[in-house]
Amino acid sequence: MKIKNKRRAFTGFGAVLLFALAFAIFFRAYFKTIEVSGESMEPTLRSGQRVLVSDAYGLIGAIRKNDIVVLKGKAAGEFLIKRVHALGGQTVDWLNVPGSWRIDQGKYVVPDGEVYVIGDNYQVSEDSRRYGPFPLADVVGKVVVF
């Protein structure tokens, strides 16, 4: 009878260990930490702060307006952290259209498959107002914990 109890205890421990291993693999595949660099998201995020980012949209929800996202930068290993202002098909208000957009061109609508982002610190942020929208393919993920 004691042998069966030890076997059950090991089986329970093995199941917990297997679950922990599966969770670790899942977490490593769909979540990453990124360090904030610069002042463009102050006061929400400060330089040096680490954020948890995920692209498991089925779990955390699709990218929506006002979400904070991480985008690939131009250089390898460089990231941009900005707030979503508009998604493909949505109109950008006149105060935040790209600097090259002229009023005689009419409303500025974000092209499908792209995202328009702005930093929370408007005065120093270099974002879609300067560079235009970013392709959704450049989105590394959505910030889930900061």
Catalytic residue among 40, 54, 125, 128: 40
Tokens of 47: 């330089």
| Peptide bond preceding 135 in cis form (omega within 30 of 0) | no
**Which of helix, strand or coil describes residue 76?**
coil
Q: By the 8 A CB rule, do 67 and 57 touch?
A: no
Alpha-carbon gap, residue 115 to 74, rounded angstroms: 16
Radius of gyration of the chain from Cα atoms?
A: 21
Centroid of chain to Cα 118 = 13
Catalytic residue among 32, 37, 54, 82: 82
82 among known catalytic residues = yes
Handedness of CA 97, 99, 103, 105 (dihedral sign): negative
**Side-chain-facing half-sphere of 70: CA atoms under 13 Å:** 24
* Active site (catalytic) residues: 40, 82
